[in-house]
C-alpha cells in the first residue's frame, strides 16, 4: 500500500476531497492529510490528520488572499517532515506544495497528482489575480504526473492550457451512501427540496420566485449568505415550508432518502464556473431516489435528460418548467436511482485512480 499525502481546502460541507480521503483509507493506504478552511473561517482550523486521527489543529483568521500563502507554508512545512510516496492536491494551489517540495527541496515523491476541483474562468473576479491563477494552473498541469478533471469540459480547457492528454483522467464527483436504500416512493411533483450552499450565485431565490405558484411544500437544508433572504421569501409566499440550518451530511442523506419530491439544483446561467462544474448535489439527489430539477448549464444535465433522472430547463419560465414536471414519469424511479448509483458511487469512480 502507498503512503499518501493529501492536501486540500474544505468548506463546512463534505466534498470530493473528504470522500477521496475516506476511500484511500478503506483501501488500506497510509494517509496523512492537511485540510485548510476554504471560505468560512469563523471558528475554523487547519486540521492535520494521520488516518482517521486528528494529530494537530491550527487556529485560523480570514486574511483574504494572504491565506493562500499561509496555507502553502503550513502544508509545505508538514510535508517536508513526513515520508510519502504519493502527493495529492485538491486544487492547483494545493498541488503546488507537492511540486515545490519535489522540485526545489528534493523531496522524494513518486507521483504528484492534481485532483482538480471545479475549473473557473473567473476565479477571483479580478484581472490580475485571475491571471496569476491561470499561470499557476498551467504550471501545475505541466509538472503533475496525473491530472484528474471532474468534467470533460474542464479537461478540454486544461488541454488547451497545455495539459498532456496522456496524463489526463476524467472522474466526476461521485456519491457514497452508508445505507443503500432503493425503495419505491410516491413522488409528489409539488414537493421540492434544496440542500447545500444557499448563495445568490447558485440562484435558488430566483428559482423559488418563479416556481412558487406550483409549490405545495418546500424543504431547505444548508447555510449560506443568501439564507435569510430565501427564508423570508418562503414565508412571504406562504407555502408549506421547513428549514434545517447547518445539518451534517448524515442527516441530509437520511432526509433525502425518505423525501418524496423533487430536488432543486438551480445552477444559474450567468456564473462561469457552473459550465465546468460536476455538482455533488445532483449525484446525491438521484442516488437517494429524488428526481432533480436543474438548469441545463452543468455538463451532467445531458445525462439527466437522456436517462430520465430529472428535468432540465434553459430559462426560468414557469410554464415550460411546469409542463415538464407534469410530463415527467416518476414510476419506478428507484430503479433509475439504483442504476445511477451503481456508476457514480465512490468505489467505482475512484477505482480508476492509479496511484
3-state secondary structure of 241: strand
Looking only at the bridges linking them, the beta strands covering 30-37 and 45-50 are antiparallel
Going by pLDDT thresholds of 50, 70 and 90, the confidence category of residue 90 is very high
* pLDDT, mean over the chain: 94
Going by pLDDT thresholds of 50, 70 and 90, the confidence category of residue 270 is low
Strand partners, 57: 47
Average pLDDT over residues 61-70: 91
- If one compares 88 and 120, the residue with the highest pLDDT of the two is 88
Domain ranges (residues) in the chain: 3-171, 191-343
- The Cα 283–Cα 296 span in angstroms is 15
Equal CATH topology for 3-171 and 191-343 = yes
- The Cα 138–Cα 346 span in angstroms is 28
Indicate if the pLDDT at residue 273 is higher than 80: no
pLDDT in tens, 36-57: 998 778 889 999 999 999 999 9
Secondary structure letter of residue 345 according to DSSP: B
Instruction: Let me know if 154 is exposed, middle or buried by CB neighbors in 10 A (0-12, 13-18, 19+).
Output: buried
3-state secondary structure of 3: strand
- The topology (CATH level 3) of 191-343 is Rossmann fold (3.40.50)
| Cβ contact 311:328 at 8 Å | yes
pLDDT given at position 42 = 82
pLDDT given at position 288 = 98
Average pLDDT over residues 334-339: 98
Longest dimension (CA), the chain: 63
What count of Cα atoms within 13 Å lies in the side-chain half-sphere of residue 298? 30
What architecture (CATH level 2) is domain 3-171? 3-Layer(aba) Sandwich (3.40)
Indicate if the pLDDT at residue 161 is higher than 70: yes
Average pLDDT over residues 135-163: 96
Q: Can you say whether the dihedral through the CA atoms of 282, 284, 286, 289 is positive or negative?
A: negative
Which of 58-62, 66-70, 265-269 comes out lowest in average pLDDT? 265-269
Residue 244's contacts (CB-CB under 8 Å, 6 or more residues apart) are 219, 220, 221, 251, 255
Q: How many CB atoms lie within 10 A of CB 309?
A: 25
pLDDT given at position 12 = 73
Average pLDDT over residues 323-329: 95
Which of 49-53, 93-97, 247-251 comes out lowest in average pLDDT? 247-251
Indicate if the pLDDT at residue 138 is higher than 90: yes
Going by pLDDT thresholds of 50, 70 and 90, the confidence category of residue 202 is confident
- The Cα 6–Cα 35 span in angstroms is 8
Indicate if the pLDDT at residue 124 is higher than 90: no
For 145-207, the DSSP string reads SEEEESSHHHHHHHHHTT--GGGEEE----B--SS---------TTEEEEEEE--TTTTHHHH
pLDDT given at position 141 = 97
Secondary element (H or E) of residue 89? strand 86-89
Average pLDDT over residues 184-202: 92
- If one compares 118 and 307, the residue with the highest pLDDT of the two is 307
Indicate if the pLDDT at residue 215 is higher than 80: yes
From the list 267, 244, 274, the residue with the least C-alpha distance to 313 is 267
Going by pLDDT thresholds of 50, 70 and 90, the confidence category of residue 269 is low
Q: What percent of the chain has pLDDT over 70?
A: 99
| Cβ contact 173:265 at 8 Å | no
| Cβ contact 220:198 at 8 Å | yes
- The Cα 204–Cα 168 span in angstroms is 34
pLDDT given at position 271 = 66
For residues 209-221, one letter each, b for 16 or more C-beta atoms within 10 angstroms of the residue's C-beta and e for the rest, the string is ebbbeebebbbbb
Looking only at the bridges linking them, the beta strands covering 111-115 and 191-197 are unpaired
- The Cα 109–Cα 102 span in angstroms is 6
- The Cα 257–Cα 120 span in angstroms is 32
Average pLDDT over residues 284-295: 97
Grid cell digits, residue 231: 427564508
Secondary element (H or E) of residue 131? helix 127-143
Grid cell digits, residue 300: 451532467
pTM of the model: 0.92
Amino acid at each position: 500500500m502507498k503512503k499518501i499525502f493529501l492536501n486540500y481546502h474544505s468548506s463546512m460541507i463534505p466534498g470530493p476531497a473528504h470522500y477521496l480521503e475516506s476511500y484511500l483509507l478503506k483501501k488500506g493506504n497510509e494517509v496523512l492529510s492537511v485540510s485548510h478552511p476554504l471560505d468560512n473561517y469563523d471558528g475554523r482550523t487547519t486540521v492535520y490528520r494521520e488516518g482517521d486521527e486528528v494529530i494537530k489543529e491550527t487556529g485560523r483568521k480570514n486574511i483574504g488572499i494572504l491565506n493562500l500563502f499561509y496555507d502553502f507554508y503550513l502544508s509545505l512545512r508538514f510535508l517536508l517532515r513526513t515520508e510519502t510516496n504519493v502527493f495529492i492536491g485538491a486544487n492547483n494551489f494545493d498541488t503546488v506544495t507537492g511540486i515545490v517540495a519535489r522540485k526545489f527541496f528534493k523531496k522524494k515523491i513518486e507521483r504528484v497528482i492534481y485532483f482538480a476541483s471545479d475549473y473557473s474562468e473567473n476565479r477571483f473576479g479580478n484581472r490580475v489575480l485571475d491571471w496569476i491563477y491561470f499561470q499557476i494552473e498551467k504550471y501545475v498541469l505541466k509538472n503533475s504526473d496525473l491530472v484528474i478533471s471532474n468534467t470533460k469540459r474542464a479537461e478540454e480547457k486544461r488541454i488547451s492550457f497545455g495539459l498532456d492528454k496522456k496524463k489526463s483522467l476524467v472522474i466526476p464527483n461521485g456519491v457514497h451512501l452508508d445505507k443503500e436504500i432503493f425503495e419505491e416512493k410516491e413522488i409528489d411533483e409539488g414537493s421540492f427540496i434544496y440542500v447545500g450552499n444557499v448563495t445568490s450565485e447558485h440562484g435558488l431565490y430566483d428559482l423559488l420566485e418563479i416556481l412558487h405558484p406550483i409549490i405545495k411544500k418546500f424543504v431547505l437544508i444548508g447555510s449560506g449568505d443568501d439564507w435569510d433572504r430565501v427564508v423570508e421569501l418562503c414565508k412571504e409566499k406562504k407555502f408549506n415550508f421547513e428549514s434545517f440550518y447547518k445539518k451534517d451530511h448524515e442527516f441530509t442523506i437520511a432526509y433525502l432518502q425518505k423525501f418524496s419530491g423533487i430536488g432543486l439544483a438551480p445552477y444559474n446561467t450567468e456564473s462561469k464556473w457552473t459550465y465546468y462544474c460536476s455538482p455533488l448535489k445532483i449525484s446525491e439527489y438521484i442516488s437517494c431516489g429524488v428526481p432533480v430539477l436543474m438548469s441545463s448549464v452543468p455538463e451532467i444535465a445531458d445525462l439527466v435528460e437522456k436517462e430520465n433522472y430529472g428535468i432540465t430547463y434553459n430559462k426560468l419560465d414557469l410554464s415550460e418548467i411546469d409542463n415538464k414536471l407534469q410530463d415527467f414519469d416518476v414510476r419506478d424511479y428507484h430503479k433509475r436511482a439504483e442504476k445511477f448509483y451503481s456508476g457514480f458511487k465512490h468505489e467505482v469512480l475512484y477505482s480508476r485512480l492509479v496511484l
